[in-house]
């Protein structure tokens, strides 16, 4: 009887455990060892609704949503991609719905239903799940492994490391287990965070959402990111999908007050200065007797228009007819690229860890280690991370499924 240990009972670990049993039927014993409460992470996802996948079915398109690991995932998505992951859940009685930007949720709106499907699947397949049993060490022992927990050491033929992300790399992290087995771990950093802005006017707009905004991020004179998405203004900066994308692209930049990320937010749909100038001219021409604020508020939300006039030093009450050429140019510049100075990330709010087990040492066909036979990795412990929108759980399902099928074979 083949004995498989899955270290980490998160989404990737449960998917791997189920696949291992499925691939080998009765010929394999699968145990999941979790440091805490298995599948607890699922409950926090998608604001308690669990955005478990994205409707983007084309593997190439899907792989572009990963700032790190997209090329590694591409062939994996052709085997178990978005359609397969969604099909896996619906086949187990979980109806799904698609929302904006292709985000897929359980129709019930309850992350707990996703947890229940995974738990039921594992139970039905005879997977043994151990809660509150942190793995402290994994060693090679002959052709197999000795897995140590505070309850003692046990022997397994194969080990799947599915311990998730922990960019602080605290004692007990899966990265430490991987290093102990000879694997390299790339530098780690928090990703998918809100961004802290220095500019006081930003906080004044707290609660405002800009739909489908575009932004470029520059760091030390170089473009670091160019992304689109919804942007939410908060008391201390910006958040929402666009800010998360920027945070992911800039995850490894050492941002500070002395070395900020300069965000340029475009309010001109075409993006260019001429386009911004033309739209502003038209808005002003239509309202010669009106106020500049009214003209600008036809191009941007009113509270933002007020903030822009403040930045340009223009009285909001000024009649359009009195706006100077210089004033108009200043406003056009702001419409084209409204500067926001990012000096920090929101601490503790990160959703994933960037960096992880080096992909060059992992075979994408099996998720097997290229260094240690019988060792597999899946989920966020790998050097793979995606944008928000269901992409991180998708990576967990994909890599978990592939790792489990190979570990159980």
Ligand X SMILES: Cc1cc2nc3c(=O)[nH]c(=O)nc-3n(C[C@H](O)[C@H](O)[C@H](O)COP(=O)(O)OP(=O)(O)OC[C@H]3O[C@@H](n4cnc5c(N)ncnc54)[C@H](O)[C@@H]3O)c2cc1C
Site string for ligand X, 333-372 (x = CB under 6 A): ------------------xx--------------------
Binding span for ligand X by CB under 6 A among 119-127, 261-269, 282-290, 389-397: 389-397
235 burial type by CB count under 10 A (0-12 exposed, 13-18 middle, 19+ buried): exposed
| Chain centroid offset of residue 175 CA | 19
Span interacting with ligand X, options 2-10, 83-91, 305-313, 338-346, rule CB under 6 A = 2-10
Q: Are 399 and 367 in contact (CB under 8 A)?
A: yes
CA–CA dist 32, 15 (Å, integer): 11
Residue among 4, 5, 7, 338 that touches ligand X (CB under 6 A): 7
Nearest approach, Cβ of 5 to ligand X (angstroms)?
10
What angle (nearest 5°) sits at the alpha carbon of residue 409, between those of residues 361 and 34? 70
Residue with token string 């260094």: 371
Structure-token pair, residue 244: 């998360």
Stretch that binds ligand X, among 7-15, 220-228, 309-317, 333-341 (CB under 6 A): 7-15
Q: Looking at beta carbons only, is 99 or 236 nearer to ligand X? A: 99
Site for ligand X in 161-220 (CB under 6 A): 162-164, 172, 174
Contacts of 321 (CB under 8 A, 6+ apart): 288, 289
CB of 301 to ligand X, least distance (A): 27
Nearer CB in complex with ligand X: 156/391:
391
Which lies closer to ligand X via its Cβ, residue 86 or residue 279? 86
Q: Is the dihedral of CA 387, 389, 393, 399 positive or negative?
A: negative
CB of 7 to ligand X, least distance (A): 5
Nearest residue (CB) to ligand X, 4 versus 50 = 50
Which segment (19-27, 156-164, 178-186, 281-289) binds ligand X by CB under 6 A? 156-164
Footprint (CB under 6 A) of ligand X, residues 78-137: 134-135
Cα angle, residue 378 at apex, residues 122 and 82 outer, rounded to 5°: 80
Q: Which stretch binds ligand X (CB under 6 A): 1-9, 23-31, 120-128, 199-207?
A: 1-9
Q: Which stretch binds ligand X (CB under 6 A): 32-40, 75-83, 193-201, 329-337?
A: 32-40
12 binds ligand X (CB under 6 A): yes
Pick from 361, 383, 28: which is nearest to 174 by CA? 383
Given 193, 247, 294, 392, the residue binding ligand X (CB under 6 A): 392
Assess 379 for contact with ligand X (CB under 6 A). Answer: yes
Q: CB 381 → ligand X: shortest distance, Å?
A: 6
63: contact with ligand X by CB under 6 A: no
The CB-of-310 to ligand X minimum distance in angstroms stands at 34
Say if residues 377 and 362 touch (Cβ distance below 8 Å): yes
Q: Which residues pair with 185 in a beta bridge?
A: 357
Residue from 159, 248, 393, 407 in contact with ligand X (CB under 6 A): 393
Binding residues for ligand X restricted to 126-155, rule: CB under 6 A: 134-135
Minimum CB separation of residue 66 from ligand X in Å reads 11
Contact pattern for ligand X over residues 42 through 61, marking x by CB under 6 A: --xxx---xx----------
Residue closer to ligand X (CB basis): 7 or 268: 7
Residue closer to ligand X by CB (options 129, 314) is: 129
Q: What is the nearest approach in angstroms of ligand X to the Cβ of residue 337?
A: 31
Cβ proximity to ligand X, 277 vs 385, nearer residue: 385
The Cα–Cα gap between 11 and 22 comes to 16
Q: Are 46 and 97 in contact (CB under 8 A)?
A: no
- Subset of residues 278 to 337 that bind ligand X, contact rule: CB under 6 A: none
In the block, tokens 């087995």 appear at 181
Residues making contact with ligand X (CB under 6 A): 7-13, 33-36, 41, 44-46, 50-51, 134-135, 162-164, 172, 174, 351-352, 379-380, 390-393, 396
């Amino acid at each position: 009887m083949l004995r498989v240990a899955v270290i980490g009972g998160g989404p990737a670990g449960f998917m791997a455990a189920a696949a291992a049993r499925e691939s080998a039927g009765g010929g394999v014993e699968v145990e999941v060892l979790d440091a805490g409460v298995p599948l607890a992470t699922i409950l926090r996802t998608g604001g308690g609704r669990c955005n478990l996948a994205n409707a983007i079915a084309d593997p190439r398109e899907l792989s572009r949503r990963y700032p790190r690991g997209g090329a590694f995932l591409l062939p994996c998505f052709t085997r178990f991609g978005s359609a397969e992951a969604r099909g896996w859940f619906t086949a187990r009685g979980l109806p799904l719905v698609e929302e904006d930007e292709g985000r897929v949720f359980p129709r019930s709106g309850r992350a707990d239903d996703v947890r229940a499907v995974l738990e039921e699947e594992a139970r039905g397949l005879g997977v043994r799940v151990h809660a509150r049993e942190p793995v402290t060490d994994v060693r090679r022992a002959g052709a197999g492994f000795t897995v140590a927990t505070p309850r003692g050491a046990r022997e397994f033929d194969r080990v799947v490391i599915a311990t998730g992300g922990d960019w602080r790399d605290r004692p007990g992290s899966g990265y430490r287990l991987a290093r102990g087995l000879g694997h390299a771990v790339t530098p780690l950093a928090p990703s998918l965070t809100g961004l802290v802005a220095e500019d006081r006017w930003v906080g004044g707009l707290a609660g405002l959402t800009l739909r489908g905004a575009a932004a470029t991020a520059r760091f030390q004179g170089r473009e670091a990111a160019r992304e689109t998405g919804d942007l939410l203004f908060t008391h201390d900066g910006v958040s929402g999908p666009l800010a998360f994308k920027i945070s992911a692209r800039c995850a490894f930049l050492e941002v500070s007050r002395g070395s900020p990320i300069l965000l340029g937010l475009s309010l001109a749909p075409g993006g260019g200065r001429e386009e911004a100038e033309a739209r502003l001219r038209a808005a002003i021409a239509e309202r010669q007797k009106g106020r500049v604020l009214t003209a600008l508020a036809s191009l941007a939300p009113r509270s933002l228009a007020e903030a822009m006039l403040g930045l340009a030093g223009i009285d909001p009450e000024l009649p359009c007819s009195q706006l100077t050429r210089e004033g108009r140019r200043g406003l056009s510049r702001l419409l084209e690229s409204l500067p926001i100075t990012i000096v920090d990330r929101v601490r503790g709010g990160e959703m994933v860890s960037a960096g992880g087990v080096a992909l060059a040492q992992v075979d994408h066909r099996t998720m097997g280690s290229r260094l240690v036979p019988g060792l597999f990795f899946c989920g966020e412990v790998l050097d793979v991370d995606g944008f928000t929108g269901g992409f991180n759980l998708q990576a967990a399902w994909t890599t978990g499924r592939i790792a489990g099928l190979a570990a159980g074979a």
